[in-house]
């Protein structure tokens, strides 16, 4: 009997969970489903521009497992873009990492921790109950890394 898959650690839940090609009615579209951990793999590798070992460490999985998840995600995204299919983000086997969040409505900052094994369906601000608080990180913020003088990579 196969071992049950390990939960992947995810730091980001998307606010927008569905995309469709312009000009086509939603009812006539085929949909591709991207899991939350597949989206996290694409976010870490392609948006954060981390190397695979760093990505795998952040998700607490092995590098070959990360590569497999990333490959499946990219194939699904390519299928949706090239064949004009809708893309929906849902499901998967993950747990949300604890962290510091900020409400986009009242700008309150707060820490949230999440029990392992229980994916979170909806995040809300504990102060004003506004949905979708934003994860805040120390330093440059999500999706941006300090690249040294003049914003370039590497020496020079």
**Token pair listed for 2:** 């196969």
Ranked by mean pLDDT, which of 1-10, 19-28, 78-87, 141-150 comes out on top?
78-87
Please, which residues have CB within 8 angstroms of residue 148's CB and are 6 or more apart in sequence? Answer: none
> Global pTM?
0.68
pLDDT per position as a tens digit, 102-132: 888 898 887 776 655 454 556 788 888 887 7
Distance CA 82, CA 36 (A): 21
Q: Band the pLDDT of 53: cuts 50, 70, 90.
A: very high
Does CATH number 3.30.420 belong to domain 8-96? no
pLDDT per position as a tens digit, 4-44: 877 888 888 887 889 999 988 888 889 999 999 999 999 99
Domain residue ranges of the chain, discontinuous segments joined by +: 8-96, 98-141
């Amino acid at each position: 009997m196969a071992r049950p898959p390990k939960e992947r650690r995810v730091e980001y839940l998307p606010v927008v969970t569905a995309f469709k090609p312009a000009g086509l009615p939603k009812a006539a579209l085929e949909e591709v489903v991207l899991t939350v951990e597949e989206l996290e793999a694409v976010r870490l590798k392609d948006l954060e521009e981390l190397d695979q070992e760093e990505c795998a460490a952040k998700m607490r999985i092995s590098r070959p497992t990360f590569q497999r998840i990333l490959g499946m995600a990219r194939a699904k995204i390519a299928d949706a873009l090239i064949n004009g299919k809708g893309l929906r983000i849902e499901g998967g086997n993950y747990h949300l990492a604890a962290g510091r969040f900020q409400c986009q409505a009242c700008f309150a900052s707060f820490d949230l921790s999440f029990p392992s094994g229980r994916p979170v369906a909806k995040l809300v601000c504990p102060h004003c109950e506004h949905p979708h608080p934003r994860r805040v990180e120390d330093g440059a913020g999500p999706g941006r890394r300090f690249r040294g003088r003049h914003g370039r990579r590497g020496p020079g």
